[in-house]
């Protein structure tokens, strides 16, 4: 007798947790046995102590980074959705502008961030802009694909019913595109955190990126790893929030590209 999907999911989570704990134990034992200096690789317990002692300070930096990431995510995703709508309805504009979207995606973020910091200073603008840029492309590609995913039979039916283009868009294209849109949003949610942190590397006085770069200058690897742990936690929470929103929005059977 096969187990229920809920049982299978529970076993998956349990295995994942056990694997994670095993990796931490191996890390701790290896560093102790090999007598690795702390400035090269701290023990897991030392990172835990750092998180316990400096947790409130680091959480303040994490809140700032996540604010930048969320704002960039919203701006970049909104711009990508509008661009995708334009591309779907005007192929000439898509042919002219889509190569530039590819160019924007392939430019190293570390090359853009210093320029934005020079132009706008140590403000929110450079961080939000970098996060928005890095979110733009995956949402654009997935949304455009989703808007084009409608069946020809559905379009013909709407035409027989004399539906207007606006009705076809809102009642047919948008609902059909939502699984693809959310796939792009989930990718963008993690990229937004990366973009905000990279932007903080080049000019910031707070945030996880600031913590990491300052800790690396001082060879304070305990604080550096503590910052990495919190940034990963922030990205995971953000990703799962988008997943939760997807599950609440796409409630009809088979709506999601991949049921979790």
Domain boundaries in the chain? 46-249
Chain segment 102-131, per-residue pLDDT in tens = 998 888 888 888 888 888 888 899 999 999
pTM of the model: 0.87
Q: Residue 56 to residues 61, 111, 133, 181, 190: CA-CA distances in angstroms?
A: 9, 32, 30, 35, 23
The whole-number pLDDT of residue 7 equals 67
Q: What is the CA radius of gyration of the chain?
A: 22
Q: What is the spatial distance between Cα 100 and Cα 105, in angstroms, rounded to a whole number?
A: 9
What pLDDT digit, counting tens, does each position of 55-99 carry?
A: 899 999 999 999 999 999 999 999 999 999 999 889 999 999 999
Tell me the C-alpha distance between 116 and 121, whole Å. Answer: 8
For domain 46-249, give the CATH number.
1.10.3720.10
How confident is the model at residue 260, as a pLDDT? 46
Residue 1: its pLDDT value, please? 46
> Residue 256 — left, alpha, or beta (φ > 0 → left; ψ -120 to 50 → alpha)?
beta
How many Cα atoms sit within 13 Å of 2 on the Cβ side?
A: 5
Count, in order, helices (H) and strands (E) of the chain: 10, 0
Ranges of residues in the chain with a pLDDT under 70 are 1-7, 151-165, 167, 252-260
Distance between alpha carbon 73 and the CA centroid of its chain, in Å? 8
């Amino acid at each position: 007798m096969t187990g229920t999907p809920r049982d299978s999911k529970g076993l998956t989570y349990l295995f994942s947790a056990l694997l994670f704990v095993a990796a931490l134990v191996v890390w701790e034992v290896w560093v102790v046995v090999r007598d690795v200096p702390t400035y090269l690789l701290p023990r897991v317990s030392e990172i835990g102590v750092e998180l316990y002692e400096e947790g409130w300070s680091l959480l303040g930096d994490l809140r700032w980074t996540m604010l930048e990431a969320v704002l960039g995510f919203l701006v970049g995703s909104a711009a990508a959705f509008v661009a995708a709508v334009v591309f779907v309805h005007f192929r000439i504009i898509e042919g002219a502008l889509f190569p530039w979207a590819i160019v924007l995606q392939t430019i190293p973020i570390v090359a853009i961030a210093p320029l934005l910091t020079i132009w706008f200073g140590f403000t929110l603008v450079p961080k939000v802009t970098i996060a928005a840029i890095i979110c733009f492309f995956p949402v654009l590609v997935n949304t455009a694909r989703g808007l084009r995913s409608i069946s020809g039979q559905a379009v013909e039916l709407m035409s027989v019913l004399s539906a207007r283009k606006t009705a076809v868009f809102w009642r047919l294209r948008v609902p059909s595109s939502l699984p693809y849109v959310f796939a792009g949003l989930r990718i963008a949610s993690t990229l937004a955190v990366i973009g905000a942190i990279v932007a903080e590397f080049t000019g910031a006085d707070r945030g996880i990126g600031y913590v990491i770069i300052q800790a690396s200058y001082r060879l304070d690897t305990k604080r550096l790893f503590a910052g990495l742990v919190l940034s990963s936690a922030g990205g995971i929470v953000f990703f799962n929030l988008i997943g939760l929103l997807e599950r609440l929005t796409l409630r009809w059977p088979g709506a999601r590209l991949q049921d979790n």
